[in-house]
Amino acid sequence: MSLLHKFFLLYFLPLLIAQAKPLKTIPFNLFFDDDGINCENFQYPSEILAPVPYLKECLSTIDVLAVFPGDPDYYNSIKVANCRNNYFPVVVIYATTISDIQKSIHCANTLNISATARSGGHSFEEYGNGGKNGVMVIDVQEFKQIDINFETKTAIIGVGNRLGEIYHKLNKFGYLISAGECINVGLGGHATGGGFGWTGRKYGLASDNIVSAEMVTANGTFISPINLTHHSDLFFAIRGAGNAGYGIITSLTLKIYPVLPIITSITISYLPEQVELAFITFAKVAKNFNENLSGYMALRSKNSNTYTFIFTATYLGIEEEARSAVKELIELSNPAYIKFEEMTWLGIVDSYPPFTRQPFKITSYTIPPSGFSQEAIRALVNFVDDSECQAIALLDLYASEAVSSISINSSAFIHRNIFGVLELELPLKGYSKEVQIKCIEKHLQFRQEFQAKYTSYFSYQDYIDKDLSDWLTRYYGPHVNRLIEIKKKYDPNNLFNWKQSIPTKLP
């Protein structure tokens, strides 16, 4: 080896290695890795492959991973939970710092491109991909901070954390947050539109547990803190409508609660011939359940290979107390199957069946405190039984002090004095496109009549549904004008816009 070679190996090579930046790759997402099984490989529309002039140049000034149409990672970068609509962004930016977001927003503004935030990609209508073609997607899944303040019993949590990650990390210190059940849902889109789950009747919705937030707004300003005293208008908006186009939230400070050593899982199931009695009994007694109990009932078609009506719940306490909490339901409805199991908190969290990417359509309904009439139950059961595609009705029981005692005027979340939220799901995988379209049409027809006759006027915004009429009022009730004013203040040029973002003027 020549002297020059030795010199290069000893001095320059280590320097070059130290300076080389690691090759950036998009974060691997296990839950969306289903290529060719549930979702078709889609065709990009040709206009999306034509580069937007100066976009690459503008973004090249940022040291950030940006994936463009035609790049090898593009298909993976636009995989989200639902694959029914399939929108094609002009770029997906994997931001890791606040400055990345600010500079990306600067490019979007300069080049007149709409922008959208994406945290966990679980929007029912794929709004994390912009809700239309040609949007700049700013993915914030790398915002993974979790800092606990043991004195104030709060935690600053980065919006990119999945609910499962949060439950696991906080559990190490004996705490939990009150939020949804699906472990792969992202905090950013979830907690800002409601967020209800395992402990909702005891500790409330995730959005009600937000004490502070940080956000990059449409002009690139980083605002912190957003709370009851600073930017209180924005604080009002982001608790219920924070996922509807006010800016890119980077962290939320949430109240945390101690994990109990024993939590009891409850399963109560019924056969097809028992459904009506079970449903009526449930509607009558469930609102009085002890608030340590949170749960949902699932109604499936009588032709499915499982129980038709299943109540699944968690009780924050031991089996004996859990049995007493549901005693009346059991005595009055005589279930076919009953199971109580004492578990740890993480045992409960990890028991939720994993969700994989697939096409689906969901509508939602808030149910008034009176529950359901017999006629409503029959209509729902008949729809589920007769649907050509598989249909499932899931009813989350809300009725509790934790939800109803909060004033409707304190935040953008209005669904307070209710029995629960009903979600009517059509999982569409395995059906041809024609059958999918037919099933969705029938679903939407049914929804129109069912909502007009049997439920309240309102729907739940975290179960976003682009076919919902009068959606502004159904999601945000009396707050629509106030939300529009706040939108005008923080995003006057409507940078963050899609079909169901808060508009800058009444439609």
Per CB under 6 A, the list member of 195, 204, 295, 371 interacting with ligand FAD is 195
124 lies in the site for ligand FAD, by CB under 6 A: yes
Both tokens of residue 214?
A: 């940080």
295 lies in the site for ligand FAD, by CB under 6 A: no
| Cβ(177)–Cβ(259) below 8 Å | no
Per CB under 6 A, the list member of 69, 89, 180, 220 interacting with ligand FAD is 180
Q: How far is the CB of 206 from ligand FAD (least distance, A)?
A: 8
Q: What's the first-to-final CA gap in the chain, in angstroms?
A: 76
Residues 6-65 that bind ligand FAD (CB under 6 A): none
Query: Whose CA is closest to 187, among 195, 175, 196, 199?
Result: 195
Residues 221-240 that bind ligand FAD (CB under 6 A): none
**Part in contact with ligand FAD (CB under 6 A); list of ranges 86-94, 117-125, 266-274, 485-493:** 117-125
Q: How far is the CB of 141 from ligand FAD (least distance, A)?
A: 8
Residues 387-426 that bind ligand FAD (CB under 6 A): none
158 lies in the site for ligand FAD, by CB under 6 A: no
Q: How far is the CB of 94 from ligand FAD (least distance, A)?
A: 13
Per CB under 6 A, the list member of 69, 158, 164, 186 interacting with ligand FAD is 186
The one-letter code for the residue type at 98 is: I
359 lies in the site for ligand FAD, by CB under 6 A: no
- Residue 69 or 197: which CB sits closer to ligand FAD? 197
**Part in contact with ligand FAD (CB under 6 A); list of ranges 195-203, 277-285, 328-336, 446-454:** 195-203
Query: Whose CA is closest to 421, among 315, 273, 266, 294?
Result: 294
89 lies in the site for ligand FAD, by CB under 6 A: no
The SS3 of residue 388 is coil
Phi, psi of 216, rounded to the nearest 5 degrees: -100, 125
190 lies in the site for ligand FAD, by CB under 6 A: yes
**Part in contact with ligand FAD (CB under 6 A); list of ranges 56-64, 111-119, 280-288, 325-333:** 111-119
Per CB under 6 A, the list member of 44, 75, 222, 355 interacting with ligand FAD is 355
| Cβ(503)–Cβ(267) below 8 Å | no
Per CB under 6 A, the list member of 69, 89, 197, 220 interacting with ligand FAD is 197
CA distances from 125 to 48, 58, 196, 307 (A): 20, 29, 19, 29
**How many Cα atoms are found within 13 Å in the side-chain-facing hemisphere of 227?**
11
Per CB under 6 A, the list member of 89, 121, 240, 359 interacting with ligand FAD is 121
Report the sign of the C-alpha dihedral through residues 338, 342, 343, 349, in that order.
positive
CB atoms within 10 A of CB 179: 27
122 lies in the site for ligand FAD, by CB under 6 A: yes
DSSP for 249-279, written as a single string:
EEEEEEE-EEPPS-EEEEEEEE-GGGHHHHH
- Residue 223 or 338: which CB sits closer to ligand FAD? 223
**Part in contact with ligand FAD (CB under 6 A); list of ranges 118-126, 298-306, 404-412, 437-445:** 118-126
462 lies in the site for ligand FAD, by CB under 6 A: yes
Distance of CA 51 to the CA centre of its chain: 31
Per CB under 6 A, the list member of 102, 116, 161, 207 interacting with ligand FAD is 116
C-beta contacts of 41-47 below 8 A and 24+ residues apart: 41/75, 42/83, 42/86, 44/69, 44/74, 44/88, 45/88, 45/133, 47/133, 47/134
Per CB under 6 A, the list member of 58, 67, 81, 101 interacting with ligand FAD is 81
196 lies in the site for ligand FAD, by CB under 6 A: yes
Q: How far is the CB of 137 from ligand FAD (least distance, A)?
A: 9
- Beta pairing class for 136-139 and 146-149: unpaired
**Part in contact with ligand FAD (CB under 6 A); list of ranges 62-70, 174-182, 282-290, 382-390:** 174-182
DSSP for 62-117, written as a single string:
S-SEEE-TTSTTHHHHT--SB-SS----SEEEE--SHHHHHHHHHHHHHHT--EEE
Per CB under 6 A, the list member of 69, 188, 295, 371 interacting with ligand FAD is 188
Q: How far is the CB of 280 from ligand FAD (least distance, A)?
A: 25
248 lies in the site for ligand FAD, by CB under 6 A: yes
Per-residue DSSP letter, 12: I
The one-letter code for the residue type at 235 is: F
CB contact set of 95 (below 8 Å; sequence gap of 6+): 64, 101, 104, 138, 139, 140, 142, 143
DSSP 3-state percent helix, strand, coil across the chain (nearest 5): 35, 20, 45
**Part in contact with ligand FAD (CB under 6 A); list of ranges 47-55, 88-96, 193-201, 406-414:** 193-201
Per CB under 6 A, the list member of 69, 89, 194, 420 interacting with ligand FAD is 194
335 lies in the site for ligand FAD, by CB under 6 A: no
Contact set with ligand FAD (CB under 6 A):
80-81, 116-124, 127-128, 140, 159, 180-182, 185-186, 188-190, 193-197, 242-243, 248-249, 355, 462
